[in-house]
Amino acid sequence: MPEELFADDDAPVEVLSSDVVFDGYVWDVRRESFEYGGETLRRDFVDHPGAVAVFALDDEDRVLVIKQYRHPVRRREWEPPAGLLDVASEPALDAAKRELAEEADLEADTWNVLVDYLTTPGGNNEAIRIYLARGVRATGSAFDREAEEADMELRWVPLSELVDAALDSRVQNPSLVIGALAASLSRSRGWSTLKPADAPWPARPGAGG
Protein backbone atom coordinates (compact mmCIF):
# COMPACT_ATOMS: atom_id res chain seq x y z
CA MET A 1 0.00 0.00 0.00
CA PRO A 2 1.58 3.35 -1.01
CA GLU A 3 2.47 5.72 1.79
CA GLU A 4 0.13 8.67 2.18
CA LEU A 5 1.47 11.88 0.67
CA PHE A 6 2.81 14.21 3.36
CA ALA A 7 0.58 17.28 3.16
CA ASP A 8 -1.70 19.61 5.09
CA ASP A 9 -5.39 18.65 5.21
CA ASP A 10 -8.43 20.80 4.58
CA ALA A 11 -10.62 20.88 7.69
CA PRO A 12 -14.15 22.06 6.92
CA VAL A 13 -15.90 23.34 10.04
CA GLU A 14 -19.34 24.74 10.67
CA VAL A 15 -19.03 28.51 11.05
CA LEU A 16 -21.79 29.73 13.35
CA SER A 17 -21.11 33.45 13.04
CA SER A 18 -18.68 35.70 11.19
CA ASP A 19 -18.46 39.45 11.86
CA VAL A 20 -16.05 42.25 11.04
CA VAL A 21 -15.08 43.75 14.41
CA PHE A 22 -12.51 46.18 13.01
CA ASP A 23 -12.82 47.76 9.57
CA GLY A 24 -9.23 48.64 8.70
CA TYR A 25 -7.61 50.85 6.11
CA VAL A 26 -5.94 47.92 4.33
CA TRP A 27 -7.46 44.83 5.97
CA ASP A 28 -10.05 43.93 8.58
CA VAL A 29 -10.23 41.94 11.80
CA ARG A 30 -12.94 39.28 11.75
CA ARG A 31 -14.47 37.37 14.69
CA GLU A 32 -15.87 33.91 14.01
CA SER A 33 -17.57 31.28 16.13
CA PHE A 34 -17.32 27.71 14.90
CA GLU A 35 -17.79 24.11 15.90
CA TYR A 36 -14.62 22.06 16.38
CA GLY A 37 -13.94 18.93 18.40
CA GLY A 38 -17.41 18.87 19.82
CA GLU A 39 -17.32 22.40 21.24
CA THR A 40 -17.96 25.96 20.12
CA LEU A 41 -14.84 28.10 19.74
CA ARG A 42 -14.37 31.79 19.01
CA ARG A 43 -11.36 33.31 17.26
CA ASP A 44 -10.36 36.76 15.97
CA PHE A 45 -8.11 36.98 12.93
CA VAL A 46 -6.91 39.39 10.27
CA ASP A 47 -9.06 38.92 7.16
CA HIS A 48 -6.55 39.40 4.36
CA PRO A 49 -7.14 39.50 0.57
CA GLY A 50 -3.94 37.56 -0.16
CA ALA A 51 -0.87 38.72 -2.06
CA VAL A 52 1.63 37.85 -4.75
CA ALA A 53 5.41 38.24 -4.90
CA VAL A 54 7.78 38.01 -7.86
CA PHE A 55 11.27 36.55 -8.06
CA ALA A 56 12.54 38.13 -11.27
CA LEU A 57 15.64 36.20 -12.35
CA ASP A 58 18.03 37.47 -15.02
CA ASP A 59 20.45 35.51 -17.23
CA GLU A 60 23.19 35.81 -14.61
CA ASP A 61 21.08 34.15 -11.88
CA ARG A 62 20.53 37.47 -10.15
CA VAL A 63 17.24 38.31 -8.45
CA LEU A 64 15.68 41.76 -8.50
CA VAL A 65 14.99 42.96 -4.94
CA ILE A 66 13.72 46.26 -3.59
CA LYS A 67 14.34 48.00 -0.27
CA GLN A 68 11.19 49.51 1.18
CA TYR A 69 10.15 51.02 4.52
CA ARG A 70 7.77 48.84 6.57
CA HIS A 71 6.24 50.77 9.45
CA PRO A 72 5.10 47.93 11.79
CA VAL A 73 8.73 46.77 12.16
CA ARG A 74 10.33 50.23 11.69
CA ARG A 75 12.74 48.92 9.10
CA ARG A 76 13.67 49.40 5.47
CA GLU A 77 13.85 45.81 4.39
CA TRP A 78 14.82 43.98 1.23
CA GLU A 79 12.00 42.10 -0.45
CA PRO A 80 10.86 40.97 -3.89
CA PRO A 81 8.29 43.07 -5.77
CA ALA A 82 4.93 42.19 -4.22
CA GLY A 83 1.42 43.43 -3.72
CA LEU A 84 -2.07 42.74 -2.45
CA LEU A 85 -4.74 40.88 -4.36
CA ASP A 86 -7.11 43.77 -3.74
CA VAL A 87 -8.64 44.03 -7.22
CA ALA A 88 -11.85 42.00 -7.31
CA SER A 89 -11.61 38.82 -9.42
CA GLU A 90 -8.15 39.74 -10.75
CA PRO A 91 -6.17 36.58 -11.62
CA ALA A 92 -3.11 36.21 -9.42
CA LEU A 93 -0.79 36.11 -12.44
CA ASP A 94 -2.16 39.42 -13.73
CA ALA A 95 -1.57 40.94 -10.30
CA ALA A 96 2.03 39.68 -10.28
CA LYS A 97 2.70 41.16 -13.72
CA ARG A 98 1.18 44.45 -12.59
CA GLU A 99 3.31 44.58 -9.44
CA LEU A 100 6.52 43.84 -11.33
CA ALA A 101 5.75 46.67 -13.74
CA GLU A 102 4.62 49.14 -11.08
CA GLU A 103 7.44 48.51 -8.61
CA ALA A 104 10.36 47.75 -10.92
CA ASP A 105 9.36 48.88 -14.47
CA LEU A 106 9.94 45.32 -15.68
CA GLU A 107 8.09 42.65 -17.63
CA ALA A 108 8.94 39.01 -18.28
CA ASP A 109 8.50 36.38 -20.98
CA THR A 110 8.20 33.29 -18.77
CA TRP A 111 6.18 32.88 -15.57
CA ASN A 112 5.93 29.93 -13.20
CA VAL A 113 4.66 29.36 -9.68
CA LEU A 114 7.68 28.96 -7.43
CA VAL A 115 5.93 28.30 -4.11
CA ASP A 116 2.77 29.14 -2.15
CA TYR A 117 2.65 29.72 1.59
CA LEU A 118 0.47 30.94 4.45
CA THR A 119 2.12 33.73 6.41
CA THR A 120 0.60 33.37 9.90
CA PRO A 121 -2.15 30.74 9.93
CA GLY A 122 -2.70 31.13 13.67
CA GLY A 123 -3.62 34.79 13.32
CA ASN A 124 -4.65 35.60 9.75
CA ASN A 125 -5.70 34.01 6.49
CA GLU A 126 -3.08 35.71 4.31
CA ALA A 127 -1.90 33.46 1.48
CA ILE A 128 1.03 34.45 -0.73
CA ARG A 129 1.95 33.03 -4.11
CA ILE A 130 5.55 33.58 -5.23
CA TYR A 131 6.17 33.57 -8.97
CA LEU A 132 9.45 33.01 -10.78
CA ALA A 133 9.72 35.41 -13.72
CA ARG A 134 12.40 34.90 -16.39
CA GLY A 135 13.22 36.56 -19.68
CA VAL A 136 13.06 39.87 -17.85
CA ARG A 137 13.31 43.23 -19.62
CA ALA A 138 12.46 46.88 -19.06
CA THR A 139 8.92 47.98 -19.89
CA GLY A 140 10.11 51.20 -21.50
CA SER A 141 8.05 53.34 -19.14
CA ALA A 142 8.37 54.41 -15.51
CA PHE A 143 5.68 54.51 -12.85
CA ASP A 144 5.32 57.41 -10.44
CA ARG A 145 5.77 56.06 -6.93
CA GLU A 146 4.60 57.62 -3.68
CA ALA A 147 4.44 57.06 0.09
CA GLU A 148 6.70 54.17 1.18
CA GLU A 149 7.49 53.38 -2.44
CA ALA A 150 8.84 56.86 -3.24
CA ASP A 151 12.37 56.10 -1.99
CA MET A 152 12.59 52.41 -2.91
CA GLU A 153 16.06 51.12 -3.78
CA LEU A 154 16.37 48.45 -6.48
CA ARG A 155 19.23 45.98 -6.70
CA TRP A 156 20.09 42.82 -8.63
CA VAL A 157 21.53 40.26 -6.18
CA PRO A 158 22.96 36.80 -7.00
CA LEU A 159 20.60 34.07 -5.85
CA SER A 160 23.38 32.40 -3.84
CA GLU A 161 24.00 35.68 -2.00
CA LEU A 162 20.31 35.96 -1.13
CA VAL A 163 20.39 32.46 0.34
CA ASP A 164 23.44 33.33 2.45
CA ALA A 165 21.77 36.52 3.69
CA ALA A 166 18.59 34.63 4.57
CA LEU A 167 20.40 31.88 6.49
CA ASP A 168 22.43 34.51 8.35
CA SER A 169 19.20 36.39 9.25
CA ARG A 170 20.49 39.55 7.57
CA VAL A 171 17.24 39.66 5.57
CA GLN A 172 13.99 38.57 7.19
CA ASN A 173 11.16 39.41 4.81
CA PRO A 174 9.29 36.08 4.60
CA SER A 175 8.71 36.16 0.84
CA LEU A 176 12.39 36.90 0.28
CA VAL A 177 13.57 34.15 2.64
CA ILE A 178 11.11 31.51 1.44
CA GLY A 179 11.53 32.50 -2.20
CA ALA A 180 15.34 32.44 -2.04
CA LEU A 181 15.43 28.98 -0.48
CA ALA A 182 12.78 27.62 -2.84
CA ALA A 183 14.47 29.09 -5.92
CA SER A 184 17.89 27.78 -4.92
CA LEU A 185 16.55 24.28 -4.34
CA SER A 186 14.47 24.34 -7.51
CA ARG A 187 17.50 25.45 -9.53
CA SER A 188 19.52 22.56 -8.08
CA ARG A 189 16.81 20.23 -9.39
CA GLY A 190 16.85 21.71 -12.87
CA TRP A 191 13.75 23.82 -12.11
CA SER A 192 11.71 20.61 -12.11
CA THR A 193 9.66 21.76 -9.11
CA LEU A 194 8.16 24.77 -10.90
CA LYS A 195 4.42 24.76 -11.51
CA PRO A 196 2.41 26.36 -14.32
CA ALA A 197 1.66 30.04 -13.82
CA ASP A 198 -2.07 29.24 -13.65
CA ALA A 199 -1.75 26.33 -11.20
CA PRO A 200 -4.73 25.99 -8.83
CA TRP A 201 -4.43 27.98 -5.62
CA PRO A 202 -7.09 26.71 -3.21
CA ALA A 203 -5.64 28.60 -0.23
CA ARG A 204 -6.23 32.02 -1.82
CA PRO A 205 -8.73 33.78 0.48
CA GLY A 206 -12.23 33.83 -0.91
CA ALA A 207 -11.34 32.49 -4.34
CA GLY A 208 -9.10 29.54 -5.04
CA GLY A 209 -7.29 30.30 -8.27
Q: Give the DSSP per-residue string, the chain.
A: -PPPP--------EEEEEEEEE--SS-EEEEEEEEETTEEEEEEEEE---EEEEEEB-TTSEEEEEEEEEGGGTEEEEE-SEEE--STT--HHHHHHHHHHHHHSEEEEEEEEEEEEES-TTTB--EEEEEEEEEEEE-S------GGGTT-EEEEEEHHHHHHHHHTTS---HHHHHHHHHHHHHHHTTTTT-EETT---TTSTTS--
pLDDT of residue 206: 73
pLDDT of residue 75: 93
Point out the residues that are catalytic: 149
pLDDT of residue 146: 55
pLDDT of residue 63: 97
- Low-confidence stretches of the chain (pLDDT < 50) are 208-209
For the entire predicted model, the pTM comes to 0.91
